[in-house]
Structure 1
Amino acid sequence: MNTIPDSHRDLFDGAHIATLSTLGADGTPQVTALWYLADGDTVATSLMTSRQKYKNILAHPKATLFIIDPANPFRTLEIRADASIESDPDLALFDRVVRRYGQDPATFPAPREDRVVLRLTPTRVVAQG
């Protein structure tokens, strides 16, 4: 299955913390906790081009996003995906993500330079619980 089931759509659409797994140059998984935004049936997040996950995606454009239900840790959503990078020159996606998590982008203490959009298009979705 490569679509989000209705039973887990709340995890996909909600403002939860997810983990993003990418593959490093030597094949070792690299995992990062991050904020994300459901955008249709894709997932989008803002990355800095200086970060390892950005470099990993360029070299191997696959990733897995994993979300754990904070109310029931046995209920999870795993999204295996093709990954692509898009420009975000006006930081529109960065602003949307930061606002989604209840913060003001103007005062949010994250670097704003050299940001791009990471878009994940699901190739396999695994819903548990």
Structure 2
Amino acid sequence: MSEVTSIPATHRDLLETPSAAAFTTVGAAGYPQTTAIWFLLDGDVVRTSLHRSRQKYRNVVDHPQATLFLIDPTNPFRTLEVRGDVTLEDISDTSFLERLLAHYGQTLKTFPAPTDNRVLLTLTPRRIVANG
């Protein structure tokens, strides 16, 4: 097991390949809340688009820290954990959402969730644990 503060080249592919990741936030009662999300690696930060009605949005407003966890689908012993600080940015257009959806082979028309009332979430790594 190796611990680093930036995304290691050995595990960067897990963030570059379209896949679902476990995204964990801290709920109002102090318990972890985990959901699967789509995301984009943007340089050394991870970004996603959240709808304001979602629990994970409310959680990061109250506790702006989160963890993104990925398991290599070809080797379950190869994992990447990205713990970091969350910032939220109001977005008035759908350009980031369109970029995110395109990464996963979707469009605004095929996306099965609301496309309005969204924010841009940026996860800035503070601790990265790469295994395998």
Compute the TM-score of the two structures, normalised by the length of structure 2.
Answer: 0.94
CA RMSD of aligned residues (A): 0.8
Deviation at 1:89, TM superposition (A): 1.1
1:116 is matched with which residue: 103, 116, 119?
119
1-structure distance, mates of 2:87, 2:29:
20
1:30 is matched with which residue: 33, 40, 43?
33
2-structure distance, mates of 1:107, 1:71:
28
Are the equivalent residues in 1 in contact too, given 2:64–2:87 (CA < 8 A)?
Answer: yes
**2:102 corresponds to:** 99
**2:6 corresponds to:** 3
Residue type at the aligned position of 1:13 = E
**Identity across matched positions, percent:** 53
| Deviation string, structure 1 residues 41-96 (Cα, Å, up to 9, x no partner) | 00000100011100100100000000111111110000000001011211111111
Q: How does 1:8-87 map to 2 (within 5 A)?
A: 8-87=11-90
Secondary structure of 1:6's counterpart equals coil
Are the equivalent residues in 2 in contact too, given 1:81–1:123 (CA < 8 A)?
Answer: yes
Are the equivalent residues in 2 in contact too, given 1:4–1:12 (CA < 8 A)?
Answer: no
1-structure distance, mates of 2:94, 2:19:
21
2-structure distance, mates of 1:34, 1:43:
11
Secondary structure of 1:111's counterpart equals coil
Query: After the TM superposition, which segments of 4 or more aligned residues of structure 1 sit over 6 Å from their partners?
Result: none
- Unaligned 5+ segments in structure 1 are none
- Unaligned 5+ segments in structure 2 are none
Compute the TM-score of the two structures, normalised by the length of structure 1.
Answer: 0.96
Deviation at 1:119, TM superposition (A): 0.4
